[in-house]
Every structure is written in structure tokens, then in C-alpha cells.
Structure 1
Amino acid sequence: MTLHPFTADTLFALSQPTTWVPLHLSPDGNQLLVSVQHQKRQGKSIGHESYTDTGIPRPMVNSRVLLVDTTTGAVDEPFPDGTSWGAQWSPDGSAIAAYVQQGQNQACLSIWTRETRVSRRYPHVLVRPFFGFEVPRWTPDGQSVMVKLVASPPITAPEPTNTTADGARVTVFSFTPGSPSTGATTLPGWADGYRCDLGKIAVNTGEVQQLAENWHILGWKPSPDGCSVAVLHYVEAEPKLQQFYFDLTLLSLDGGPSQVIARRIPQEYGVCFNWSPDSRWLAYTTQERGKQNRVFVVAADGSAEPEELSDPTSDMQLLGEIEAPRWSSDSTQIYCVAKRGCWEWTIRDHAPKEEITRRYITLHSEHKVIGWVQSPTMGTIHMTRPDHLCVLARNPRTKETAFIEIELSSGHERIVAELSQYLQSPTCGVEIAHREVSQGHEGYLIVEASHHPTEIWRFQWNKQHQEQVLSLNPALSQVAVGKSRLIEYRALDGQPGLAALLLPPTYREGERIPIIVEVYGGAMNANHVHDFGITQDVIHGQILVNQGYGLLTPDMPLQGHDPLSQLSRHVLPAITRLIDLGIADPKRIGLMGQSYGGYSTLALLTQTSLFSAAVACAGSYNLVASYFTLGRNGNDQWLGWCESGQGRMGGSVWEKRPAYIENSPLFYLDRVTTPVLLICGGQDPGAPEQAAAAFIGLRRLNKRVEYRCYQDEGHWSGTWSEANYRDLCERVFSWFDEHLALDTGM
């Protein structure tokens, strides 16, 4: 059978789970809700590229809700027209709430009724979710749904650009020490996209009860007794630390006043909290820069200050970002997943702290926990059988995932199943969204492998049985795809290292091929060895290997405040190992990277002449210029990123002046001997200026360089229009083909 090559056309036809939208199983376990989307790009962006002009969050474009029969695998679409995502079953399983957008109408709420199999749109309920995990929340009685709404007109500071009496157009930002400043009126991060009203919608009448107006919310959860809803309200940030703070606030559903019960909670996404089943308490975690994650419990009536359950003097290795604490069904235990197991606190009617017992159930195997097997929208813990929890863990040597069941009373563990497939993992390492459990012994997960995209699988813990429920891309069996393998090597400091290698579909053992090395400083890239295509940073890996190139992505750990000098420590030995294995042609090695990978690319080129060509996309090449990037509202666009974030400088430009220069590849472009293609999106703040500076420098130094700015695009090519993405692919391959060709004169 002749297979078709994997091209941009193949990519645009692929279906995949909608980013971060959780699976949801009906209460009877018979039907599974899945939000999927194909890669075809469309829609005009507004604001910070957050939404289309019809109100669809950018990552949800082309999404649709599927209803999968868990017995037969049959698929239905409850919202067949237009875009739909975020579907959630009502508590009794009689209805589904989802976000929908049809035609030129704005995105709104829709309810599908199981008995009639008909959906009802609520066009006056204009919704404003930002991330995929911001799904509609049903009240416990199933009579109402709580959703984020398009915000009421905000109260803002005066527009900084004004016209004077003489007709001059001038932008003014003013700052007086000790006084509020003019400008910097918005919270940092994607806060403008978080802004919303919170509403409760009566399903029968469509009546809207406004619960909060013009707030910044990501997580909202109704109390089990149906009396109130808890939200983490984003209220403050420390830009120098890239730290966000939230107030845990209770909003009454009967019209009473709101109440803040915990203030300034540091979290990344504002979703790590859960109600106790008796509605008396809330447990939450904190994620503070430079500190260990911590666990607190607070009374819902606000009668006492939050009480810490964790040990602030030790590293409890709690997993953060999106994994929330879970309660036992009787409200006496709290559980938190950790890197090597699970913590349990026993709280008897919330006695004094000295009477709270704490224990750690740890894994004895070498596996590292990446999450536990729990329903992403539930606040109570799910036991696979009495006294047993199941976690997902990764083997650090093989990178394969295992289901490990832990007996809480004894700490005994058993591996239920090992997977060569990799759990579907959206950006930022958030992996919890795409797993779901039944009330019995079954779990549903979305998995993928380097040679096939995402599929839905069912796992039965008691029978140690696994099976595919649904393939999202059956037509891919007719397409040629590459397969991956792990490469082991020794870093320059003697430490063991791993790299993921994706080989062309036609690769034959013993054949030397051109290799493209994709880099991203600080990332453990080998963890993606089982991802479909391994990477999509610049272009999809399967498109690349179908052009005859191999794709290598080595681990690149960083420490301290001198990233530039550390980047070659793993990259160069990984390439040497691939040459020694007889796979890489040493005369045809290319380099590319996106975002911090773009920085890493140009930084590496200042240290080695190994590469025949390079592509740097959306990078920051001058940390001094990055530090002084002024946002459109007067905010410090990248100051925190430079000082305490990914820039890794550890202080201000004045405190660390030499480090800012020494770690900026722009100041060492005279050492570059490799032809460089610089790519950026015109709407990516600061990126065009950074790429232009690198272009000017390399041109002045008489180096081969090309600058391509896609005017209407943002930071990541994965969201670019089809036309621009196709042009990007064509130009990248043209660049590598030109410079990695064998020297026929040798």
C-alpha cells in the first residue's frame, strides 16, 4: 500500500482534543463528552489575540462537542452547527451545558436535553471563558448553570493618548514615587482576557442573575449545598516576580453580600481549590515563586483565618498549577498529589492543628508522579477500590507512562498498566484535563504516540484491561509518519542526558541523514518522545521528517543566572552521540527554536560553527531591550520575565549589568558563522524589534541572514493562518534545503 506524505494539508485535517477542555462522563457511565477540534485556522483576533470577533477563545476555534457511546463507540454531535466546546453533564445526566457559536452570532450558552435530543441556545447569555478548563458549572439541583459572561463596561483610567488644545497627539505616562501612577492600569499576564461578569442562568427561563461584575476570574465552583459559589478573584500581581494573587471570595446565590475568606493567595491559574462535601470548608494550595507549594483549609463562614496543613519548613513536593486538593466523601480527609506519591490529612471536625494527622504515601519504584486519576471537575477523591488510589507516573528512563495503584493503609503499590503511548499533554505541562473516571473501576484517557495522534482509551483497573474507544483520525492509517526513539548520552559535565529523536518514515538503519535540532533552554525535551510528531514549536515534527530530515530534541536543564553559557552543555553531546550512532550526517546539521527556543538558537550560534543553517522564531536576543519594553498601557512588558522568570537574570539591569550583556546573543553576533533565518509575528509584542535588531547586526557583520515578519500574526506559529503557516513551512524547508545540501565537490 502506497502511503501519502504528512503535509500541511494533513495537519489542517487532523482532529485533536480541544486544549485543556476536560472529558466528562455521564452519571450512568454510558456516554462520554469530548471536545475536539481540527487544525484548520480561521477567525480574526481581537485584544491580545484572545478571542475571535465572534467571541470564541482563540484555542477553541473549530472545536465541536462529541458524545461518545462508551459501549459501542458510536459518536453523536449534540450541538451540530458551528463551534461548540466545554460541554458538561447536569448532575442527574438529563442535560448538557456547553458554549456554542453559530454563523455570525456571538458565542453563547446552549443546553441539550437528553430526552428530546434537542439543544436550546440562550443568545442573550454571551459567554467569556478564556481557558478550556473554564467549563459551565451546574448548580447541585441541576436547575441553573454558572458561566463567565462578557464583562460590563469597565471603569478604566483615562486613555494615555490625548489631544492637546493645540491639536498635538501625545501619549503620557506619569509616575511619582509613593503615589499611584498613571498608566499600568491592567493586571499583567493575560488578565484582559480573564475579565468577565459571573452569571447564574436559570435553565427553564433563561433568566440571568449577575453574581460578579467586571472581575478577573478563572475558577468558580458552587458549594455542594447550592447556597454559594466560591471564586478565586485575580486582584494583584508582582511583575518583578511574575506572581499572581487571588482573593478566595464567596458569592451568595440568594442575593446576599459577597465575602472574602482568604486574601492574596498566590497561584498560577486560580483554580486550585475545592469545597468539602458538607460545604463547611474549602481547601486550597499556594504556588509562590521561589517557595514550596503549600496547603490550607479555611472555614466557609469566614469565622477564622486560613489554617496551614503543610509543613512550611520542608519540601512536600506538591504538584501545582492545576491539581487541586481533594476531599473524602465524609469531609474528614484532604488529599494532595505529590511528585513521589500522595499526602493525606485527617481532620476530625477541624480540631486544633496539633490534632491534625498528616502522612505521606510514597512510591517505592523509580517512577515520577505526573498526576492522579481523578475526574477533573470533582472536588471529592475517587478510589479505584476501597482504600486505593491510582496515580499516573512516568518512568524517568523510558519516558513511558504507568498506572500505579497505591493502597493507602499499607503503602503497597502495584503497576496496573504501562503505556508506550503518552498522555495527551497540552501546553504548560497541564495534563489533568484529558482524563475521566467512572464511579466504578474504569477510567478514560486521551493518549498519543509519536507515530499516531490522539485517541480515547478506556482502562479497567480491576481487570488490568485497556482498549481503544475512539480514534479521532482513522484516515491517518493511509499517511506515512515517522517514529521516535530515545537517545542516551553524557553531557559535557558528565551527567547522563536524554534526547528524543523522530526519524523519517523511510529511514533505514545505518543510513546517515540530515538532522534538525530543535532547542528550548530549560526544557526536558525527551519527555515528549511519545508526543505525536514530538514537537510543534516552529512546524509540526511529522511535516519535517516527511521532508527527509530527522528531528532531535535534547534535554536542556538550566541552573543559576547564566543561561547562555549552559545551552551547549547538552545539545552538542547529543549531536555527537547521534553522529557516533551512524544516524546523523555531520555535514548536514540544522538548528531551530521558537520563543525561548529562538533565544537558545541564536545563543548557540555564538558558541559553535557545527550547524549549517538555523531558524530562530519569536526569540528575544537582547535582554537589555527586553527589560525596557513598555506595554501599550504603560506596564512593564518583560521586566519580571527578565528578573525572575525565564530570562533568569536574578535582578535588575543595574544590579546585574554584565549578566544582561553576557547572556544577550545580540552582543556576540560577530561570532556567528551560520546562515540564520529570523522569523516573527508582527503582532507579537517586542518580537519584530528583537528580530530586526539581530538582522541589522548580522547584516552589518556581513553574515548570511534573512528576516521574515508575518504582519498579522502573533507569538506562536501554531495559531497562524493557513496561508502564513504554509508559507512558513515552505520558507523553512527552502532554507534548510539550500544550506544543508551535501557538498558535491567533496
Structure 2
Amino acid sequence: MLYQTPTPAIANLVNLKPDPLMLFGSDRNVILLADRPSYPGIEDLRQPKLKLAGRQINPKLWMPYGPQGYRNPRLRRLDNNEERPFRGLPEGSRFRFFNWSPDGKRIAFCLLTPTGLQLWTCLAETLECYPLGAADINNSLGGTPFDFLGNEGILVKRRIAGAEPPKDDAPTLGPNVQDTSGMEGVSRTYTNLLKNKYDVDLFRYYASGQLWRIDLNTKKEEPWGRAGILSGLSASPSREYFLATYVDEPFSFNVPYEKFADRVEVLDAQGNSLIVLEERPAQEQLPPAFGSVITERRRFTWRSDHPAQVYWTEARDGGDAANEAEFRDQLFYLEAPFTGTPVPSVKLPLRFGAIRWCRGDLALVYDWSWQQRRQVTRRWWPDEPEREPVVLFDHNWEDNYSDPGDFATITLRNDHVVLLTREEGKKLVLTGNGHHPEGSRPFIDFYDLESGQTSRRWQSAPPHYERSFFFLDEHPDWFIMAREQLTERPNYFLRNLLSGEEIQLTDFEHPYPQLRDANLEKVHYQREDGVKLLGDLHTPADFVAGKSEPLPVLMWAYPQEFKNADKAGQVTTSPHQFTQISPLSPLPFLAAGMAIFDDFAMPIVGEGDEEPNETFIEQVQMNARAAVEKLVSMGVADPKRIYVGGHSYGAFMTAHLLAHTDLFAGGIARSGAYNRTLTPFGFQAEERSFWSVPETYIKLSPFVHADKIDAPLLLIHGEEDANSGTYPIQSKRMFAALNSLGKTARLCMLPHEDHGYAAEESILHMLWEMEGWMAR
């Protein structure tokens, strides 16, 4: 069939103009703006695509398939709101990867040409733009393909000159054969993997690149380092050394390229290899427990407050999170010239998570445990590696109400991140969401390192909902803040933490004034076992519960696993938040006069040693029953016209609800998984394999229960879904089962679409399918 469009009230909510890119340099009075793309047309998705090693590569452009570029770049001065456009650019151009030089005097970016990305630059003073070399950048593996070397130079990754593409001689090579390794381990299901020698040759051709160093004063270019498949490069704070990670062969046919064998080296300023820090095999067979890691050195990083000190971590539990161990990880380091014996540093009882550097007597290290849902923040002394770290916070991440927040950081001129300190380094800055039973109120606190006490310096206050984002690198008194109300969309401000002074950055109008007066109510209720639940109820402006006629309702959810029932019902939103309407959400149907119960709580609780999935079906039944009963008792819902839906894991939930309840007039399941035996090494938070608990995998497969589905089910799926576990075959086989069983079902496969849908035509057609299905 041809692409269809829903009724105008719904269609008008699709292509709203998105917020622009906003990028500060070192001068807080100047901000770079560029217009973001809206939804592409289906023709934009019909680009050539290579599916290699877990990636989708556009071979024509040598970049990841699909991304659109920014338009209309310009600089705005905040003191007078003057805007100046970039000059000398081809008309109608699209751009990617804007970046400021460390001193804020120059901007570099990529221009998207018909044959790929081309590096351009300009001075912030003149904005006269010019190219640096040809359109031969290699961005096939993603990431930013260039970086400033101080203020006077740039490193850029280009294609290898003269390399010939491989010939497709696969038909003459014979069958593709793989052997087992004889080693036990787990590798979850992945898509778009290498399949044969031709794929190997293609991946090598498109992934290999050569770095070039460009002198911005003379425009002279010269090769830097050796050619190869470079998956990571970072400069030391002194910029005298570089950490480089190269992908090694042979390539794996079982995992994506991020898990391929690789080699970590230290390079000098000229790109010469000084030392190989580690050679690691492909990560094909890790132990099954969440938090299991390789036994080789991993997580290499530079110490941000030291000229050239490289850190890494090593497992002390054999890499298996199921093993008992006093310490799971330990940090080690080397400093220039990297020829000595690695120095042992802090030992961690839990799995290493991250480091936040500051100075020789102050750094923060985070370690975590999945089984305990626990994250520990420890203060330690990098210059005293054997000194015992001190616990600052020991937090269960399911407990949102006791979340202390995150320590704020700033980026130095050398592009390295350090902790933001106050009062001569005696205090750190904490930013948090401020979740509370009455609604979230984000905050900024000062944390006293000596006493461990916090003092509040700023907090969002009703009737607004305000969020802090980050502090300006060179001006740590100033932070970026968004402010919104229920009827006013977010706008952005610069705010001074100490004086309270504000500078407004944007003045966006309401994007859908036709829905400005729609009602939003945070509905609290509980299920039969006492677990507290919450959902967002949206109703048309003229609807009054108990007085108006009950409405058709679309309920939309996504299950979440918890280890604690009390924490499952915590409030993590604010009644003052603006209602953002995405066409991929259920909210466009508010414009059609329906009630929407969005994000209604769907907790799956497994306390103690109990796994949540053992009672998944029973718990989704209780959650849905409680929600429906609440909406009917409020006088909101017509019980004969309640529909349920979800995307991905929410689609899985939807199929179960239709199979195991008779609460709904119909269901909408988008991009779901319905046969869990096709994801035999785990899914979502399930760590156990199919062979450990086959009865659980079978019971949790809606495909097995297709005969019990009596309410009509609409299945929608992207034909190019690359998400692990939600292959398009999942919806095709589910539909075939429903069809053979004589059930009422419809299958819509969207051409060229991935797990989330991107093209305007696809989104409009999806809404048309949903609207028509509920009308039937």
C-alpha cells in the first residue's frame, strides 16, 4: 500500500521545529547556534547501506548510515543579541561536528558533500570559512573525525589514499564455516555481524584510516602515526603523548567491532609508537553475570590533572562478577616515559565505574554492583596510591529519594575534565534531580570535603520546573539552566550561582498552542499487593472527570525491573514539567479527543534472591488491572474503549496483557520481541541463559500464548531493525501465529526503518495505522 496520513489534528504534531544546537566556547558572551534537522523524508533513508561488524555504514559518504546535518550556523553575542552568519559556505549546505579551539578564537566543523565529509574552519572574529583538504574524511565508525591540537593544529582522520575496494568474489569461495572454541561463555545476540571473507575485506577497507596533522597557520598537511583501524585516540594533558587503540585481526564473526581484538599503545607527539600497553583478544565469551569483564587491562585513561600519567584497571576476581572476592578491581598507572613497572593504586570492592580527577590529594572513584543495585563514591589520594579511600556516598540507585546527586565538573583548556571546586578547593559542587513524593525539584549543593556536610545553593521552585545542565568551563560561577512550566515549553538561561543574575538565551514559543490548555494529572494509585504506582493522565481541555462522558483511553508503558517494592513507586517527575509531545509517543492522540495514560507504572519487582522475570506475567497483570480500575473509578475511561500499547519492551508487555487479561479493546505493539528463545543468552535484566531456566524463557514468550490473545493486536516493526533481540522476524512470526489461529491482527512493516522510526512518511503512516486500529 501507499504511505497514509492520519487526520490533520494528529498530523500537525509531527514536524515541529526542534531546538537549535547551542555550543559555548571559552567566551561566555558568545554562543554558536545551528538549526537541527527535522524528520528526514523516506528518500533520505534510501541511502546505500553496508551492515558490517555491528555497524551500518554509508559507503558513498564513508560515515554512519542515516544522520542528518545542521544548517544555518551562526554566532550570537549575548550582551546585544547580535547574530552573525558563517560566511563563504555553499548555499544549502549541511554540517556536522562543530567544535571550538581551546582559546575560543577558531571554529572547525565538517561540511557534508555528495561524496562525504570535508573539514572546514573559520576565525570567530571574521567567520570567513574555508576548507582544509578534500572531502575524504573517514567517519565510517562514527565519533568526531577531527580534534584540535592546541590552538594551531588539527588532527583529522582521512581515507587511505589509493586503497582499492575489495571485489565481491564470494560465490567462488565456497561455504562459510565456523568452529566452536571449546570455551564456555556468553555472548548476547547481535545484528549486522560479519558473515564471510568479503565482509571482512569490506570492513577493513571502510574502517581503515590515516590521521593527518594540519598546521592552521601554514595549512600544511602531513601524515601522523600509522594507518590502521583506529577506534580511540586521546591526548595527554601535556599533549606530548597519545593513547591510541587499534583494532586487530582476525576479526570476529560473533560480536560487533567494539568487542574485536585490539591493541592499546602510547604514541609520542609525532605519532610514533612508544609502548604497547595491552593486546586483548575478542570479547566473545564473558561470564554470564552482569558486571563480568575481561581479565586483560581495560579502561585506559589519562589522569586529567597530571601532565602524562596513564591509568587502567584490572580484574581481581577473574573477571566473573559471580565469584566471591574481597576486591573486584584495582587501578594501576604509569607515567612518562612509560618504561617502568606499573604502579599499583586503589583497590575496589565492587566493579570499577569511573574516575573524576581534581588534584594530587583529591580524586573520586566510583564502583558499583548490579546485584545490589549499588554505587559507591570514594574519595582517594592519587599521589598516595596505597592510601585507603574514604566512602562519601553508598547509594542504592533504585532509591531516587536518597540520591545525593552528581559531582559537577568543568573542562580545561587542554580538553580534560576535572572536578569543579569552590572556596579554594575545600568544597565540591553537587547537582541532583531532587526527587520527592511531591515532585522533583533539581538542586545544586556545595559539599564540604572536611565535614562531609552539604549546603544548598540553588533549587528549582514552583510554579516552575528548572534543571541545571553544566557549568561554563572558564566561568565556574555560571551554569546553563532550563526553565519550564506546565503550559510553557523549556527555555534556556545562563545563571550565576552566587549572585542569581540571569541571561536569557532562548525565547521559544509554545510549539502546539492548540493543546496548551489540555489537562495533566499525576495519578497515584496502588496495586493489590500494596506496591505504589503512578501515571501521567492527559485529557482534553474541556474534559471534567465525573461530569463529562468517559473517554476512549490509550495506555502506554515500558516495564522496569526493581529489587525493592518500596522504591518501585517513587516519584521521579514534577507536576510543573511541560508536556513534550513526540510523534513517537502516544500523546498525539490527545489531539483526537482521547485520554492518554502515559508512562503508567509497570514495575516488575524481584526482592531478595527472587528474579523479577519469575513473576513477570503476574505483575504486569496486577499493574494493568490497578491502572484500569483507577481510570474507570475516576470517571475518565470508557471500559469498552481502553487500548494498551508500547514500544520494544513495551510491545512485549502489550502482547502479554492481551494474552493474560481481558481488560483491553485492543493493543498496539511496536518493534517488540515475542519469542524469547531467539535471545537465549539473556534479555533486558535477565542474566540467566535459556539452558539455565528454559521454563522461564518459554513462559515469557508471548508467541507461546498466541492462542490466548482474543483482543485485536496491531504489530508495527521497522524492516531494518538492528536492535539486539528485536529482529523483524519477531513480529513476522507472531503475526503468522495469530493469523493461523484465526485471531484479529495486522502487521505493518516500515521500509528502511530501524528500531526507532525516523522518516516523516513512516511516522505519519504509523500514526495512521494506530488511529485506524483504535477506530475499528
2:148 paired with 1:138? yes
| Equivalent position of 1:704 in the other structure | 744
2:221 paired with 1:207? yes
2:362 paired with 1:333? yes
Give 1:70 shift: 3.5
2:260 paired with 1:250? no
| Equivalent position of 2:536 in the other structure | 500
| Equivalent position of 1:427 in the other structure | none
- Preserved contact between residue 158 and residue 210 of structure 2 (Cα < 8 Å): yes
Cα distance change of structure 1 residues 665 and 10 upon mapping to structure 2, 3 Å threshold: closer
- Preserved contact between residue 95 and residue 114 of structure 1 (Cα < 8 Å): yes
Q: Could you say what secondary structure the match of 2:641 adopts?
A: strand
| Equivalent position of 2:189 in the other structure | none
* Superposed CA offset, 1:714-739 (max 9, x none): 2211x2x212221111111111232x
| Equivalent position of 1:573 in the other structure | 626
Q: Could you say what secondary structure the match of 2:592 adopts?
A: coil
| Equivalent position of 1:439 in the other structure | 475
2:230 paired with 1:227? no
Cα distance change of structure 1 residues 672 and 6 upon mapping to structure 2, 3 Å threshold: same
What amino acid is aligned across from residue 393 of structure 1 in structure 2?
A: G
Cα distance change of structure 1 residues 193 and 158 upon mapping to structure 2, 3 Å threshold: closer
* Superposed CA offset, 1:679-729 (max 9, x none): 111222563322121111112222110111122222211x2x212221111
| Equivalent position of 1:281 in the other structure | 309
Structure 2, unmatched stretches of 5+, are 1-6, 184-192, 284-292, 368-373, 562-567
* Superposed CA offset, 1:308-364 (max 9, x none): 52522x57xx8x5xxx53322x4443234688885322222xx4x433543426799
| Equivalent position of 1:85 in the other structure | 96
Alignment of 1:5-16 (within 5 A): 7-16=10-19
2:718 paired with 1:681? yes
What amino acid is aligned across from residue 555 of structure 1 in structure 2?
A: A
Q: Could you say what secondary structure the match of 2:703 adopts?
A: helix
| Equivalent position of 1:374 in the other structure | 409
| Structure whose CA Rg is larger | 2
Task: Report the TM-score, using the length of structure 2 for normalisation.
Answer: 0.75
- Preserved contact between residue 101 and residue 148 of structure 2 (Cα < 8 Å): yes
- Over the residues paired in the alignment, what is the CA RMSD in angstroms? 4.4
- Preserved contact between residue 377 and residue 392 of structure 2 (Cα < 8 Å): yes
* Superposed CA offset, 1:597-634 (max 9, x none): 2222212221111111111111111122x24xxxxxxx
- Preserved contact between residue 5 and residue 480 of structure 1 (Cα < 8 Å): no
Give 1:95 shift: 0.1
2:772 paired with 1:731? no
Give 1:306 shift: 6.5
Cα distance change of structure 1 residues 669 and 154 upon mapping to structure 2, 3 Å threshold: farther
- Preserved contact between residue 11 and residue 39 of structure 1 (Cα < 8 Å): no
Structure 2: how far apart are the matches of 1:723 and 1:404? Answer: 46
Alignment of 1:258-337 (within 5 A): 259-261=275-277, 273-283=301-311, 296-301=331-336, 302=338, 303-305=340-342, 307-312=344-349, 314=350, 325-328=355-358, 330-336=359-365
| Equivalent position of 2:511 in the other structure | 476
Give 1:586 shift: 2.7
* Superposed CA offset, 1:47-90 (max 9, x none): 35845554564574142455343334444443765222332211
Give 1:251 shift: 2.7
Structure 2: how far apart are the matches of 1:51 and 1:347? Answer: 42
Alignment of 1:97-108 (within 5 A): 97-102=108-113, 104-108=114-118
How many positions carry a matched residue from both structures?
Answer: 679
- Preserved contact between residue 347 and residue 357 of structure 1 (Cα < 8 Å): no
Give 1:666 shift: 0.3
Cα distance change of structure 1 residues 51 and 172 upon mapping to structure 2, 3 Å threshold: closer
Structure 2: how far apart are the matches of 1:669 and 1:655? Answer: 24
| Structure 2 residue corresponding to 1:394, chosen from 433, 445, 448 | 433
Structure 2: how far apart are the matches of 1:191 and 1:600? Answer: 41
Give 1:410 shift: 2.4
What amino acid is aligned across from residue 731 of structure 2 in structure 1?
A: A
* Superposed CA offset, 1:158-178 (max 9, x none): 9794237xxxxx652332545
Structure 1: how far apart are the matches of 2:34 and 2:244? Answer: 24
What amino acid is aligned across from residue 474 of structure 1 in structure 2?
A: E
What amino acid is aligned across from residue 122 of structure 1 in structure 2?
A: L
Give 1:650 shift: 0.8
Give 1:456 shift: 2.6
- Preserved contact between residue 273 and residue 282 of structure 1 (Cα < 8 Å): yes
Structure 2: how far apart are the matches of 1:118 and 1:202? Answer: 18
Structure 1, unmatched stretches of 5+, are 165-169, 425-431, 628-641, 739-746
Cα distance change of structure 1 residues 649 and 480 upon mapping to structure 2, 3 Å threshold: same
Give 1:488 shift: 2.3
| Equivalent position of 2:70 in the other structure | 63
2:558 paired with 1:517? no
| Equivalent position of 1:354 in the other structure | 386
Give 1:222 shift: 1.5
- Preserved contact between residue 28 and residue 472 of structure 2 (Cα < 8 Å): no
Q: Could you say what secondary structure the match of 2:738 adopts?
A: helix
Q: Could you say what secondary structure the match of 1:488 adopts?
A: strand
| Equivalent position of 2:451 in the other structure | 410
Between the aligned residues of both structures, percent identity stands at 16
Structure 2: how far apart are the matches of 1:153 and 1:13? Answer: 44
- Preserved contact between residue 680 and residue 709 of structure 1 (Cα < 8 Å): yes
| Structure 1 residue corresponding to 2:178, chosen from 174, 177, 190 | 174
Structure 2: how far apart are the matches of 1:564 and 1:216? Answer: 46
Task: Report the TM-score, using the length of structure 1 for normalisation.
Answer: 0.78
| Structure 2 residue corresponding to 1:552, chosen from 592, 598, 608 | 598
